[in-house]
């Protein structure tokens, strides 16, 4: 899968999770503390070192792993999010 498509999928998935969690989700995986939307509904990530980055600035492999780990630990909630997106 090409990188722009992977980034788009990771961003859309994370945005859906953040929106379902009312604007902020604690990650704690693979270098990411949390993800949140600002007042303009733009998606940001807070790294373990405290820096705030956009998904485009994040390491894509780490971002995908963090999303997958969150999904695996919250499978029932994730399924509800997917159902709402359909």
pLDDT tens for 22-79 read 999 999 999 999 999 999 999 999 999 999 999 999 999 999 999 999 999 999 988 8
Give the whole-angstrom CA distance, residue 15 versus residue 21. Answer: 10
Map tokens 């894509």 to a residue.
60
Answering whether pTM is above 0.95, one says no
Question: In sequence order, what are the residues at sequence separation of 6 or more whose Cβ sits closer than 8 angstroms to the Cβ of residue 41?
Answer: none
Q: What is the mean pLDDT of residues 6-14?
A: 95
Q: What is the pLDDT of residue 74?
A: 94
pLDDT at position 1 over 90:
no
Map tokens 């990650």 to a residue.
27
Q: What is the pLDDT of residue 83?
A: 77
């Amino acid at each position: 899968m090409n990188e722009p498509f992977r980034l788009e999928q990771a961003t859309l998935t994370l945005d859906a999770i953040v929106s379902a969690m009312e604007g902020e989700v604690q990650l704690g995986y693979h270098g990411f503390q949390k993800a949140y939307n600002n007042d303009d509904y733009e998606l940001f990530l807070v790294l373990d070192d405290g820096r705030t980055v956009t998904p485009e600035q994040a390491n894509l492999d780490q971002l995908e792993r963090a999303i997958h780990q969150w999904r695996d630990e919250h499978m029932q909630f994730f399924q509800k999010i997917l159902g709402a997106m359909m």
